Structure 1
């Protein structure tokens, strides 16, 4: 089903990334290309963006006014307007793509790889967070649980943030390789939180035994409360992976695509752009390639092999 934009969890975050993906500099002297037929009534072109509801879990303050300013003063420079639909499952998003209802997507890297043939390889981007384009997944535990001692963690309580699509694969591969099956049967309970910080805090206060979060999320939590680093262990640390991907579909008009791609990559140069990026705990948007997702592809393939071998 399609979630109502203002009622879905994290709608401001997804709408904000849409702006990052489709914004341009205010007062840009360069005239944008436009592959569409002439627009005689001067109405803005529509960019149809599909985003998964669980793609982001960064907490935001209410920034509706900021969005209004960005729409009026930035998007108008290219005569473009973003139309966003938020989906609660990848299958629904994929169906919309196959029906020709989508121009661009915001999704998790493993999901994007499933529709690789529909994506323009020269129009893929992601955000840089705390100086990193890729993030490590961590399993954070109490100090009394030794790192790597899976037996001591068995039957304990796990807490996670909302966007753990890739993190769950990382965790399940580690468990399968250690001979413990998958996380659903390994932990006594799994409790998702709206953002990483409450997941970490639950472990800190003994409400959970382990939290599955990114390295950046733990760093932020430690900056807010230095005691977290003293009382918690990093039980498991993955290699860096690209998490979230923004991409145009191949059949989106090339001229408009180049304009909007260039605008997103220069978004951090704008005062308003940097303000919005900071709300995402990010610094800029970077262009990426399929090569940047190669280790994600290998991880997913390994997960499939391991699950097949135990079934």
Structure 2
């Protein structure tokens, strides 16, 4: 379902392009998609699928050439790919956006009624005696898989370190990743795990569907709001009618059945445009995590 959603999204991107004049100087329409959005799927299979869909839709619309490329996860390879490929638009995570170092005035983010950000929660059973993250020492923690979990582990690590980045003496067992948030929540409910790390929205929905969960479980830690992924137009791309039409197509996904199907995959009601400053707090967290917890830093930002 996830890959179908991404492919549909790309097709709608191309629909926006089809309403315009030819692409860049060589007439090619370029879309870059980070491999981070396709966990546990074969990269070659994804790239082949993206190419077939892009060429098929482009051919139906009479476009000269459509090139949809899957970018690697490794930061150096990702940045080199962006420099070489020079995409019209690119879909990346926030850490990747930071590492690429592009400067843009606006970003496009899947949002819902609560806005573009999400938060994570650590939930436990009320009868476990766990009242704070420090009480998780030696306990079993599960992580519910979700495409929005990019910053979940980094945030969890910050919970288990002091202000200098030194790990607390006590920590939980190595987390186990399960298929989805619901399974993680139910494992805690049925005492198969001591704690679960999930997107807060998933926990709220589960409790809405099954009120017994709220009676038996509680949140012992909640993250600040984070932006996890975005679509951007590199600043070097000229502001042609083509680019404006592409932006229009992204912002109006909700107005067509296929677009609404894509938004369902993104667990969103609409993709909206925001000033780049919406990323500030998330970028600050990533920089703090890299500097204090892992002792690393992002690549130098280009001018």
Question: Retained in 1: the 8 A contact 2:165–2:292?
Answer: no
Q: What secondary structure does 2:197 align onto?
A: strand
The root-mean-square deviation of aligned C-alpha atoms, in Å, is 3.8
Runs of 4+ aligned residues of structure 1 deviating over 6 Å after TM superposition are: 77-80
Provide the TM-score with structure 2 as the length reference. Answer: 0.75
Aligned: 1:156 with 2:148: no
Measure the CA separation in 2 of the matches of 1:301 and 1:144: 37
Output one character per residue of 1:209-258: Cα deviation in whole Å (capped at 9) or x when no partner.
22222121212322343322222211111221212111122333432322
Deviations 1:243-282 (A, max 9, x none): 2111122333432322211210111122331233123321
1:49–1:106 CA contact under 8 A, matched in 2: yes
Tell me the CA shift for residue 47 of structure 1. Answer: 2.4
Cα pair 1:140 1:235 within 8 Å, conserved: yes
Unaligned runs of 5+ in 2: 41-48, 296-303
SS at match of 1:125: strand
Q: CA deviation at 1:285?
A: 0.3
Match of 1:133 in 2: 116
Assess, with a 3 A threshold, how the Cα gap between structure 1 residues 297 and 276 changes in structure 2: closer, same or farther: closer
Mean CA deviation greater in 158-167 or 239-248: 158-167
Q: Quick check: 1:227 aligned with 2:212?
A: yes
Q: Does the CA contact (< 8 Å) of 1:24 and 1:267 recur in 2?
A: no
CA spacing shift, 1:158–1:50, aligned 2, 3 Å:
same
Looking at structure 2, the residues matched to 91 and 272 of structure 1 have their Cα atoms a distance apart, in angstroms, of 35
Within the candidate set 176, 192, 204, 1:191 is matched to: 176
Q: Aligned equivalents of 1:283 and 1:212: distance in 2?
A: 24
The residue number in structure 2 matching 1:12 is 4
Contact 1:96 1:102 in 2 (8 A): no
In structure 2, the CA distance between the partners of 1:84 and 1:166, relative to structure 1 (3 Å rule), is same
Distance 1:179 1:228 in 2: 36
Does residue 121 of the first structure (1) align with residue 109 of the second (2)? no
- Gap runs ≥5 in structure 1: 1-8, 40-44, 58-63
Q: Are residues 158 and 100 of structure 1, via their aligned partners in 2, closer, same or farther at CA, if it must alter by over 3 Å?
A: same
Contact 1:52–1:93 (8 Å) recurs in 2: no
Q: For 1:275 and 1:13, locate their aligned partners in 2 and report how far apart those are by CA, in whole Å.
A: 7
Corresponding residue to 1:111 among 92, 96, 105: 96
In the TM superposition, 1:257-296 aligns within 5 A as: 257-296=243-282
Task: Tell me if structure 2 keeps the 8 A contact 1:48–1:101.
Answer: no
Q: Is the 8 A contact 2:158 2:165 kept in 1?
A: no
Match of 1:3 in 2: none
